[in-house]
Chain A
Amino acid sequence: MKKILVACGNGVATSTVAGIKIREACENAGIPVEITQCKLMEVESKADNFDLVVTTGVFGGKVNTPVISGITFLTGVGVDKTIQEIIDKLNN
């Protein structure tokens, strides 16, 4: 089971939508995932416990876990590329 932290400005709205789409994409790719949502400002303290961080807003901090932008889950523009990037990182 891979663990993904999905973060947005206040952990309320856009991380919910992105999280659902990430779960769907990973399951389609045969990767079981556990999704946790949080606020962007919580990413630094939480990231170590996850395999991957996906953010809809900008994360300016530094963490050891790979961080990917998930804005395409909201705009729809280039979402296939983001999904591939997530799958590649999880398989790494």
Chain B
Amino acid sequence: MSNVLHFNESLILKIDGQPEQNELLSILANQLYKQGYVKNTYKDAILEREAATPTGLYTENINVAIPHTDTKHVIEDAIVVAILDNPVKFARMDDPSSKIDVRIVIMLALSQPHGHIEMLQKVISFIQKQDVLEDILTHSENMDRVKSIITQYLL
């Protein structure tokens, strides 16, 4: 089993318009599927998981969601990041009855439990760097800049 975690600029997407949550999750899951990192069951599993145990993280400023699902749907580990022009509603992980506006989504495809500890820590500390997230959203029309900021923190 490969231990590589795939993440590159083609896995950083800018989403315009106003997609519903399911639509957005499908776009991201399809991106992982197209690149061969997840099975064709991954998308539905992500949608089910998000409905059952949501992943919206309420930060009091720029909220982030980190959708992920069971390891059996994953072929090779990868993450895909979405910068949203308009907020998409997610339920809070710690309070599923509350919906929050999310501007950045980091979808995780992990093939083994408890793996990629370093990467997971990077993702979580990235979410906590609110000044960096603000910078990203402020300059989201310049995707080259956004991509270079994100890869600087996540790679």
Chain A contact residues, CB within 8 Å of chain B: 8-14, 16-17, 20, 37, 40, 56-58, 69, 71, 73-77
Taking CB atoms, residues of chain B closer than 8 Å to A69 are: 94
Closest Cβ–Cβ distance, residue B34 to chain A (whole Å):
22
Cα distance, A55 to B21, chains bound together (Å): 24
| B124 close to chain A: CB less than 8 A | yes
Cα distance, A81 to B58, chains bound together (Å): 16
Cα distance, A8 to B93, chains bound together (Å): 9
Chain B contact residues, CB within 8 Å of chain A: 49, 52-53, 55, 57-60, 66, 68-71, 93-96, 108, 110, 113-114, 117, 120-121, 124, 127-128
Cα distance, A16 to B60, chains bound together (Å): 23
Given contacts A10-B49, A56-B93, contact A75 B59 (CB under 8 A): yes
Instruction: Check if B120 sits within 8 Å of A71, measured CB to CB.
Output: no
Q: Find the A residue at minimum CB distance from B74.
A: A12
Cα distance, A40 to B53, chains bound together (Å): 9
